[in-house]
Amino acid sequence: MLMTTKPMFDLAYEGEFGIGAFNVNNMEITQGIIEACAAEKSPCILQISKGARSYANMRFLRKIIDACVEEYPDVPIAIHLDHGDTVDLVQTCIDDKFTSVMIDGSHHDYEQNVELSRKSVEVAHAAGVTVEAELGMLGGIEEDVVGLDAAEYEKNVEQFLTDPDEAKDFAQRTGIDSLAVAIGTSHGAFKFTTEAKLAFDRIEAIMKTCPGLPLVMHGSSSVPREFIDLINKYGGDMPNAMGVPEDQIAMAVRKYGVCKVNIDTDLRLALTAKIREVFATKPSEFDPRKYLGPGRDAIVKMVQRKLHMLNSAGKAAEVAAQWEKLGKPMPNSYK
């Protein structure tokens, strides 16, 4: 069932669980995500980046997601724009029947970010679409999102974290529905040179200045060792890849107000690792189904593990009931 993020976050904030927001780029990745969510009876957010729109064509991605909704009608699904950078793009995604959008003005100065986010909220809320914005700076690189140099970020992380008082002012002036915060996470597979330590004290402070505001973690892939080892074993070159420990992500969603956790890199790693394995162990194989299929299976298993980490497994019925309670509100484009 298709919905906005509101019924999901209404329950997640107080219910000690988080919603996995998984980036989709093609059929196999999307199938792997939704099959895992269906098996675990978990809600999910399927998010589409600017790069995905360019690579796959929005019409194709939209039809794949429509198939997910039809095939698994009991799985609560939100379609979300990841890292939108203009009000025009927000409007385009609303017209394309997204149910949620992110406007990312974190690379602008504070007042510009406020104004860009406020205008995006004005446009999206008029259409019944929920809005996520970002405040603070992350490290790393992923697709079109270029953050701070990883080494520089680690060395000076405190100065880039989201300021709790700014977060309060930002939320009040923009009217956003959720806020992506910088708490020590980073984009990409090469996030850190040493094990990450999330700034839980900063999350707690933001919760105090912004009570009830759903928080979002970007750059939250854990970069599973088994996939890195497979990639390197079969010709890859990723010796220093390191992500966010899953126990820290679990704490963020179970103890603090983190309601949405973005996962993209881990999907890519799972798919790539299995494709490399097939190519290396079966060099005569040329049937795409024989290497994309194992990649999809790896995504299913990996996403299932993530859903238990996020404590969202088994929460689909509760989210569906909350959506019913709210009167099944949907964006105007569906009416």
pLDDT in tens, the chain (335 residues): 999 999 999 999 989 999 999 999 999 999 999 999 999 999 999 999 989 999 999 999 999 999 999 999 999 999 999 999 999 999 999 999 999 999 999 889 999 999 999 999 999 999 999 999 999 876 544 455 544 445 554 555 566 789 999 999 999 999 999 999 988 875 554 445 566 778 899 999 999 999 999 999 988 788 889 999 999 999 999 888 778 889 999 999 999 889 999 999 999 999 999 999 999 999 999 999 999 999 999 999 999 999 999 999 999 999 999 999 999 999 999 87
Q: Give the whole-angstrom CA distance, residue 312 versus residue 12.
A: 8
CA 261 and chain centroid, separation: 5
Q: Give the whole-angstrom CA distance, residue 318 versus residue 330.
A: 18
Q: Answer for the pair 182, 136: CB distance below 8 angstroms, yes or no.
A: yes
Q: Give the whole-angstrom CA distance, residue 88 versus residue 151.
A: 34
pLDDT score, position 70: 97
Q: Give the whole-angstrom CA distance, residue 39 versus residue 306.
A: 13
pLDDT score, position 194: 62
pLDDT score, position 12: 96
Summary count for the chain: helices (H), strands (E): 15, 11
Catalytic residue among 10, 82, 85, 266: 82
Task: Cite the beta strand spans of 15-63 per DSSP E.
Answer: 19-23, 44-49
pLDDT score, position 190: 45
CA 43 and chain centroid, separation: 13
The CATH architecture assigned to 6-329 reads Alpha-Beta Barrel (3.20)
82 is catalytic: yes
CA dihedral 54, 58, 59, 65 (to 10 degrees): 130
Give the start-to-end residue ranges of the domains of the chain: 6-329
pLDDT score, position 331: 95
pLDDT score, position 138: 66
Radius of gyration of the chain (CA): 19
pLDDT score, position 144: 54
